[in-house]
Amino acid sequence: MEDPKVVAERIVENVERVIVGKRRELRLAITSLMCGGHMLIEDVPGVGKTMLARAIATSTGCSFKRIQFTPDLLPSDITGVSIYNQKTNEFEFREGPIIAQIVLADEVNRATPKTQSALLEAMEERQVTVDGITHRMPAPFMVMATQNPIEYEGTFPLPEAQLDRFLIRIHLGYPSGTDEVLVLDQQQTQHPVDTIGQVTDSTEILQLQKAVKEIYVDPLIKQYIVELARATREHESAYLGASPRGSLALFRTSQARALLEGRDFVTPDDVKELALVTLGHRIIMSPGAKVKGATVADVVANCLARVPVPGARARA
């Protein structure tokens, strides 16, 4: 395999032909793919959430399926169903759209909790069980879920257990005026997602994921990550802090960022850069803090200020 950094940057540059002016967010999305994790994209309609998933799937040559979550969607519509074949006198499994390498769960908070829970086993155990028979997910496997943070009517907020299964949460946001004009120019005759090609394959993605795990993390950095997670649990504005899965997410994404930066070791800056996107959605604010207008970003920033950085001198 060629240099992992070169492979990752090639994917980012290819996807950037579709999603203009969002390089940081694209790097975070590829970071999630490099870690073998799942991503929650929380943003208003029309900013390119679906196109981001399609562009990543096309760039990596991975199989792609889209699930539109609605209130009448059933768990079997996601996982698949066993159908009796009269010719063979046997039940045949018809796989659902969850069995793909990259799955877009569009507007995931519009489905009922029972249907949302159908994702849990697939996201964590990389398998689905239908009629007592287990079916493995293909590798690599990544769920990219989207939800609209503004319109809550007729939605079912994701429970903490499901939010915790997402490696990172990102917000694309509106493009700048210059970038929006560029989007108009690009889509005047056809959509750029239809013109981009494949720049890598699933085998290289698996090798990329293996390379991430080999990035060195000093014991002091590991302690720093744990102390940050513990600080969120003990923060006065937090009702519930980040779980140990959050610590592992921050650990793994820091390794991926180091690789993207061309290093074979993690620095405290890697941890700081990824603290909010990996820990933010795992923190539940206390009612009193909400009344005062405090946010999850404030809690994470405060924890970063409180926890001493490895190698830094103690401040008075």
Q: Which fold has domain 215-306?
A: Helicase, Ruva Protein; domain 3 (1.10.8)
What pLDDT does residue 66 have?
A: 92
Q: Report whether pLDDT(294) > 70.
A: yes
194-237 pLDDT per residue, tens: 888 899 999 999 999 999 999 999 999 999 999 999 999 999 98
Which structure tokens are listed for 33?
């793919």
Cα torsion through 102, 108, 113, 118, rounded to 10: -10
102-122 pLDDT per residue, tens: 999 998 888 888 888 888 888
What pLDDT does residue 222 have?
A: 94
> Does pTM top 0.95 for this prediction?
no
CATH 3.40.50.300 residue spans of the chain = 4-209
Q: Report whether pLDDT(123) > 50.
A: yes
Q: Which residues contact 315 (CB under 8 A, 6 or more apart)?
A: 308
For the residues 158-162, what does the mean pLDDT come to?
83
State whether CATH 3.40.50.300 applies to domain 4-209: yes
For the residues 145-160, what does the mean pLDDT come to?
79
Residue 41 pairs with which residues in a beta bridge?
Answer: 146, 170
Residue 143 pairs with which residues in a beta bridge?
Answer: 103
Strands 102-106 and 64-68, by their bridges, are parallel
Least reliable range by pLDDT among 145-149, 242-246, 296-300: 145-149
CATH 1.10.8.80 residue spans of the chain = 215-306
